[in-house]
Chains A and B, each alone.
Chain A
Amino acid sequence: MLSDAEDEEKWLAEGIAGLQHNAFYMHRALDANNIRDALKYSAQMLSELRTSKLSPHKYYELYMRSFDELRKLEMFFKEETKRGCSVIDLYELVQHAGNILPRLYLLCTVGSVYIKSKEAPAKDVLKDLVEMCRGIQHPVRGLFLRSYLAQISRDKLPDIGSEYEGDADSVVDAVDFVLQNFTEMNKLWVRMQHQGPVREKEKREKERSELRDLVGKNLHVLSQIEGVDLEMYKETVLPRVLEQVVNCKDELAQYYLMDCIIQVFPDEYHLQTLETLLGACPQLQPTVDIKTVLSRLMERLSNYAASSTEVLPEFLQVEAFAKLSNAIGKVIEAQVDMPIVGAISLYVSLLTFTLRVHSDRLDYVDQVLGACVKKLSGKAKLEDNKATKQIVALLSAPLEKYNDIVTALKLSNYPRVMDHLDTGTNKVMAVVIIQSIMKNTTAISTSDKVEALFELMKGLIKDMDGTPADELDDEDFKEEQNSVARLIHMLFNEDPEEMFKIICTVRRHILQGGPTRLPFTIPPLVFTTLKLVRRLQGQDGDVAGEEVPVTPKKIFQLLHQTIEALSSVPSPELALRLYLQCAEAANDCDLEPVAYEFFTQAFILYEEEIADSKAQVTAIHLIIGTLQRMNAFGVENRDTLTHKATGYSAKLLKKPDQCRAVYACSHLFWVDDQDGIKDGERVLLCLKRALRIANAAQQMANVTRGSSGPVTLFVEILNKYLYFFEKGNPQITSKAIKDLVELIMTEMQSDNTTSDPSADAFFASTLRVRVSLSLSLQHKRNHNNDNRNRQLQPQIVQRWNRQESASIKHSALDYASLIRMLGKHGMPNVAMQLFNGMTSASVLPRYATLSALMLCYADNGLFLDAQAMWSEIINSSFVPEIEVISDLMDAYGKMGHFDEIRRILHELTSRDLGLCPEVYSLAISCFGKLGQLEMMEATMKEMVSNGFKVDSFTGNAFVKYYSVFGSLTGMEAAYGRLKRSRILIEKEAIRAIASAYIRQRRFYKLGEFLRDVGLGRKNTGNLLWNLLLLSYAANFRMKSLQREFLRMVDAGFSPDLNTFNIRALAFSRMSMFWDLHVSIEHMKHENVAPDLVTYGCIVDAYLSRRLGRNSSFALKKMNVDRHPLVLTDPIVFEVFGKGDFHSSSEALLESTRQKGLTYSKLIAIYLKKQYRSNQIFWNY
């Protein structure tokens, strides 16, 4: 059995076939000037329109085809009349057609020619036609016929200024004609609702809805009539249209036609007829969605007002605000059942209108908000999601308009509206307010305003309705509190007194926030307060005469109390940080006792509250760092504090932590200022103590693990030695450093007694540290240079030697790998020294060493030296390895020395080393890789002309580089050559070519290419087919996409993830939800696991249609608990880009190293983000 839709398709196809058949004979008759046959076949053709089996959509298709054919007939009629045939006769003749519907279509067609001929007044012909059309009372057929009449008469109305203009009342005739046609059409349309069985009501409504534009079209025609001026619109057009609208008593018609009136007639007219138009609203059926109608009217008028300031007086003159406000009141009153969201959205529209038209009238704005409060009062807090959204819009509108919360704070009803929001939305709104302030960098500069503002955002500041904060979403909560923090940072007043008041106000509010909020809000408050301190810092403490002003002292007291509040959290680590910040500020104000007090507090916290060993490490380092920067302390205080700090450092739990803290303490005795303390002895004491601890740590490690002690600690201490040495601390001698270096060497040696494979890497990196240390020393200490270097270099070699023989048995490697490593790290001169050292020690350099040194030079841009090495190699008995040549060519290529590459090529090919094909191949790839197509081409020619056969790899590379760097023509030629050489094109080259076509968006060509390669080829997997599908998907050729997909399956390929994703992406972009679902099912059936891209297709498709919630329907078929992965071939993204969900999730996956992310989490985060951005950038 056929479904309805299939049935319809069949009937439409039959209709089209019949139509084409008769049109064919009609054309013939037209060509033969055979008028009778022409009429006969055209009438038969038009009979197809008598069907009642088609839905309006399909009927429209048939109608359009007939319409096109009738244009040919019309032309023929025109020619006929030119040839002398009387149009009146024609008009008579067509009336003989047997069937009424074809007859009327023909009559309209001849009528059009008739009017054009001007043999009769347009108004008479039109009147005749519009009357005759009464003959069709079937709604669908009648509507289309009349729309045909409207269409052909469109440019023939007796409008003023038109060539068909008649006598004085000509415009009236034109208007009458259109109004009559409109009225008749509306009747047909409304009547349709009452025809047919009740059970088909829904279907009928859908069909009616499809037909609506045919009716509305007449209003558009009316609006286009030149002669319809304001006068005529006011007196005739609007009243008559409204009469029809009101009297038809049909919900759909009323709603739609009101919308049409508003959209098709100009703004000036609406303003001047507001009363009439608004007066109709309460007369409409109670079910009509008047709020949307009114909103659209206000939106139009707002846009109009915004278009030019010149039109504003018009608004005032007609008292638009009062009228609209009044009408809205009435509608809300009349429609008792209107949900609250409807009423609020009406107010939103009115508010938008007010803000655009009367932006200077804050009283109007407040009035609208007041009306809204009235509507809301007595009701419980809003739970309706849509309604709260509207309120957010309502409250956001003034913010956006005035770019300034300060203005909004003046609106007395503003906080009252906010009070009606539920806690969640209240918060959202508060965030919106903060964002507005951020965006506009509004200065909130008095404590009064701050008070009002914090009162407004109390939802963020403290727990409301007893919902404890910890029940709420953690991430949301953090984000909210962070925005409060940002807000606090922004508060500013030039005047310290006022600023202090602001700080006190904020403090009072945030202290109500409870333990969850304080960690977010106290730090910004402390920092803002410290900023004020810094401003006052220059001034002297007490200014004589004036009444007690704010002083740093007073502020520090407040800070002290503020930070203390954190003890309720408790958050000792944070408090400690803040105390230290305050101490530093007090230090800068030269308030030694205050600074000391803050340090005391910090130490108390350290002793009493911070028990965790990791936290202790961080805290002690903070203390040391801050203490180091203090300069206000006298000797006594300072000694007490440094003593404590070193004492606690040595008491940390883990030895390495102890060691690091202790050597950090060394800085407490050596302040690198002009007159800072420089107690070299105590520095040394610290370092020695650190060394002792490191030793102890080493031994402990030996005992517990048997080997591999923490040699890094020694290296770190060495660093400190070097630092103080450089700073000129006389206690640090070069001997001490040398000893330490020796010690480290020995330690390392004993490390390596076990032949642990990881020791190799460890040793290498340590060596690197050493080498760079030696270099920096060499650089900084010229006088010691020679000595030190001479000592170090053999050591490196020695160490290396030992290492070599100890762990790597095949000595053939000799120094080559060390040299390469030095080269890679930009130390060619060390490498050279090493090499020289070797030769002087008469170790014969091997080929590997030579080439390593050569590459080391080349990598570092020392081409002359590299060339010398090259000559040495090539002129010796060594045969260079192909890898070395490749590396060398690459090194030259990177620097753009292409000639060098050619030179190498020729030096090698001129010597018969049996390497020629490989070397040519290398050079070709090397040039290609760098985009040097001409050189690549020349090399290829040379290779071929020297009689070498091009292998598959080289041939494919050749094509690939043409695709990447060349033009399409160049690429196609290269591919042609490959084919002629009978080399099979391989995957990589296929991809490169496809990529090139995609870049140029030549998808058709891409398809041709793939067919040429041969879709039957099996050894490239699904690549060819997938690319083919991609070529269709790219153009959204959905039918072809589907067809080729089936062929692919038929040809025995099983679709893979890429196949499915290509289809899914196309479906998703086209919002083809059904196909998307089917494809997902298919995937599941084939056991192909979806990846991030697949999920993205679903999420994006639903979200783009604002159907986010519905996406779960599709997603429930998929496993959303998997870890997200992208497995799709990147070439797909070259066509489609990455979807929104895909790219934003990818960013998230990269930024967080969260292990547990799943698709469902990603989707939740994304939806929330979208939801939030929708709320915040509310656009209406």
Chain B
Amino acid sequence: MASRRRMLLKVIILGDSGVGKTSLMNQYVNKKFSNQYKATIGADFLTKEVQFEDRLFTLQIWDTAGQERFQSLGVAFYRGADCCVLVYDVNVMKSFDDLNNWREEFLIQASPSDPENFPFVVLGNKIDVDGGNSRVVSEKKAKAWCASKGNIPYFETSAKEGFNVEAAFECIAKNALKNEPEEEIYLPDTIDVVGGGRQQRSSGCEC
């Protein structure tokens, strides 16, 4: 059963509206890109099979609405995430400034047990725009931020050109896999549900 659970890796993509979350997911999963902007409503996932050291995993990639008014039901789907991808647009300063909020919001809502080590990956998207002439967030600045948040891996991508998308998601998958799953362990007829969680996992009684 443990193996079945581990075969599914849950990834959440967050970032301001229009930074290219949906485009990145579509490029990675369907190898498609459209210039048209179609806002995402609510949360939505696509899956993709990935191979890793001769094992197959299903990556469940949750794309979310960057516009707050299209997130009316809240973020219960953060639960059980294995990795969180933070996306910004290298041509829009605000989208970079907002990363901190997205990260904090995620940590609060998902409340992973070890927030300091929860895997994040940051993507600076749309590097193709105007041949890079309109970019306002330098790679250095982005990397410095990532370093300050506990060395978050950082990728510069273009969903349009498909540049670095594959590599980024490979890293995302790898980090998701590294994340210790922290499901609450349910033992029927015992009362201690929360407190004993850790020990029980290491003793392997769920297998």
Measuring CB to CB, which residues of chain A are less than 8 angstroms from any residue of chain B? 20-21, 23-25, 27-28, 30-31, 56-57, 60-61, 63-65, 68, 71-72, 75-76, 151, 154-155, 209-214, 216-217, 219-220, 223-224, 226, 259-260, 263-268, 1001-1004, 1035-1039, 1070
Contact = CB atoms under 8 A, between A and B. Distances in A.
B38 A223 contact: yes
A24 B188 contact: yes
B148 A1001 contact: yes
B141 interface: no
Contacts of B4: 30-31, 72, 75-76
A1057 B187 CA distance: 45
Given A60-B73, A268-B36, 15 more contacts: A21-B186, A27-B1, A72-B4, A72-B8, A75-B4, A76-B4, A155-B47, A211-B73, A213-B65, A213-B73, A216-B70, A266-B36, A266-B37, A267-B37, A1035-B107
B46 interface: yes
A20 B36 contact: no
Given A216-B70, A1035-B107, A1038-B108, A21 B38 contact: no
A209 B116 contact: no
Contacts, number: 114
A1001 B150 CA distance: 9
A151 B42 CA distance: 11
Given A210-B72, A213-B72, A264 B38 contact: yes
Nearest to B104: A1036
Contacts of B95: none
B122 to A, nearest CB: 16
Interface stretch (B75-83, B160-168, B169-177): B75-83
B158 interface: no
B44 A1036 contact: no
Please indicate which of the listed interface residues A63, A216, A219, A1001 has the most CB atoms of chain B within 10 Å of its own CB. Answer: A216
Nearest to B8: A71
Contacts of B44: 151, 154, 217, 220
B107 A213 contact: no
B7 A212 contact: no
B74 interface: yes
B76 A60 contact: yes
A220 B37 contact: no
27 contacts: A20-B184, A21-B188, A57-B76, A60-B74, A61-B76, A63-B76, A65-B79, A75-B8, A155-B47, A209-B72, A213-B65, A213-B70, A213-B72, A213-B73, A216-B41, A217-B42, A220-B40, A220-B41, A224-B38, A260-B41, A263-B67, A265-B38, A266-B37, A267-B36, A1001-B148, A1037-B115, A1070-B108
A5 to B, nearest CB: 15
Contact of A211 (B45, B72, B115, B150): B72
B46 A155 contact: yes
Contacts of A264: 38-39, 41
A31 B1 contact: yes
A20 B186 contact: yes
Contacts of A259: 69
A212 B1 contact: no
Contacts of B1: 27-28, 30-31
Contacts of B51: none
A1141 to B, nearest CB: 20
Contacts of B200: none
B107 A64 contact: no
B60 interface: yes
A75 B7 contact: yes
B138 interface: no
A56 B74 CA distance: 10
A224 B148 CA distance: 37
B53 to A, nearest CB: 20
Nearest to B29: A155
Please indicate which of the listed interface residues B37, B45, B67, B148 has the most CB atoms of chain A within 10 Å of its own CB. Answer: B37
Contacts of A223: 38
Given A60-B76, A155-B47, A1037-B115, A213 B37 contact: no
Interface string B166-202: 0000000000000000001011100000000000000
B79 A64 contact: yes
Contacts of B32: 226
B22 to A, nearest CB: 8
B5 interface: yes
A212 B7 CA distance: 33
B128 to A, nearest CB: 14
A10 to B, nearest CB: 15
A1070 B42 CA distance: 23
Contact of A213 (B7, B42, B60, B186): B42
A577 to B, nearest CB: 46
B106 to A, nearest CB: 11
Nearest to A216: B41
A68 B80 contact: yes
Contacts of B107: 1035-1036
Contacts of B149: 1001
A1071 B131 CA distance: 40
A1002 B151 CA distance: 13
Contact of A214 (B5, B42, B45, B148): B42
Nearest to A26: B1
Contacts of B39: 220, 263-264
A263 B149 CA distance: 34
A254 to B, nearest CB: 16
A213 B36 contact: no
A65 to B, nearest CB: 7
A1013 B76 CA distance: 39
A76 B115 CA distance: 32
Please indicate which of the listed interface residues B44, B47, B60 has the most CB atoms of chain A within 10 Å of its own CB. Answer: B44
Interface in B1-54: 1, 4-5, 7-8, 32, 34, 36-42, 44-47
B76 to A, nearest CB: 4
Please indicate which of the listed interface residues B42, B60, B148 has the most CB atoms of chain A within 10 Å of its own CB. Answer: B42
Interface in B57-104: 58, 60, 65, 67, 69-74, 76-77, 79-80, 104
A37 to B, nearest CB: 13
A23 B8 contact: no
Given A216-B42, A217-B44, A64 B108 contact: no
Contacts of A1002: 116
Nearest to A67: B77
Contacts of A57: 73-74, 76
Contacts of B58: 75
A216 B70 CA distance: 8
B130 to A, nearest CB: 11
